[in-house]
Amino acid sequence: YHQNAAATDIDCLLYALSQNNPYKAQDWSSIMEYWNHVNTGLTIYPDVLPDGLPQDDTLCIVVMGYALNRDGTMRKELIGRLETALASAKKYPNAYIVCTGGGTAQDNKNRTEAGEMSKWLIEKGIDQKRIIVEDRAFSTVANAINTCQILANEYPLVTHLAIVTSDYHLARSCLLFHAQATLSASKGAPLLCVAANAAYPTSRSGSESIEIQADNL
């Protein structure tokens, strides 16, 4: 609610931080600038990633999970995200694809969001070697932390991330991945750029609240 009015306070706090730790201030200046961007200037691309992304394996498509049905089957919204990811994976056939999300099926603990997503993509013809499964996360925050860690440890040549999720979920997802990538890079991990997005269009309007974004950040 106070986003625009808070600009002066943000600048003062960043200046104070710079006097104590200029490197940390640089990281948080980037995060705060990007946070403003996702809520005021983020272009959302429906159904498929935009043109102009790397055509090699430096690109990684990150597909955000969604809670499973009680029996472990996927809900319509998760399938919609996967259809958007599939179109994007065909457009960028050399990109890696991260399926992220833990076990949320109340009656089937053996199934995870990421596992079911991976199986769906393989059934649709995606080479299993392209797919990275992150199946421990139970929140968007953990999605970002775990995915950045896996990429840093096992896929250090990846430089560009493309986030695929529902339209209303994009701003928060992009923000958290940018923040985690920035903070990880300050500790020596390869720098990852959140370069693009593709959205599964839903009937929900707008993005999630600034309050939720702030809580997660």
**Residue among 90, 83, 95, 66 at smallest CA distance from 169:** 66
pLDDT (mean) for 116-140:
98
Tokens 């990846």 correspond to 158
Provide the whole-model pTM: 0.96
- The dihedral built from the CA positions of residue 63, 67, 71 and 77, taken in this order, carries a sign that is negative
CA distance to 18, 95, 132, 169, per residue, from 68 (Å)? 44, 26, 19, 17
CA distance to 39, 80, 122, per residue, from 162 (Å)? 18, 16, 19
Sheet holding 96-100, edge to edge: 131-134, 96-100, 59-64, 160-166, 193-200
User: pLDDT value at position 206?
Assistant: 87
pLDDT tens per residue, range 159-183: 999 999 999 999 999 999 999 999 9
CB 113 within 8 A of CB 68: yes
- Residues 86 and 40: their CA atoms lie apart, in Å, by 28
- Residues 203 and 217: their CA atoms lie apart, in Å, by 26
150 pLDDT band (50/70/90 cuts)?
Answer: very high
Q: How many CB atoms lie within 10 A of CB 68?
A: 25
- Residues 8 and 127: their CA atoms lie apart, in Å, by 50
pLDDT tens per residue, range 177-208: 999 999 999 999 999 999 999 999 998 988 99
Q: Which token pair is 214?
A: 């702030």
- The angle subtended at Cα 161 by Cα 159 and Cα 163, nearest 5°, is 180
- Residues 85 and 83: their CA atoms lie apart, in Å, by 5
Give the gyration radius of the chain's Cα atoms. 17
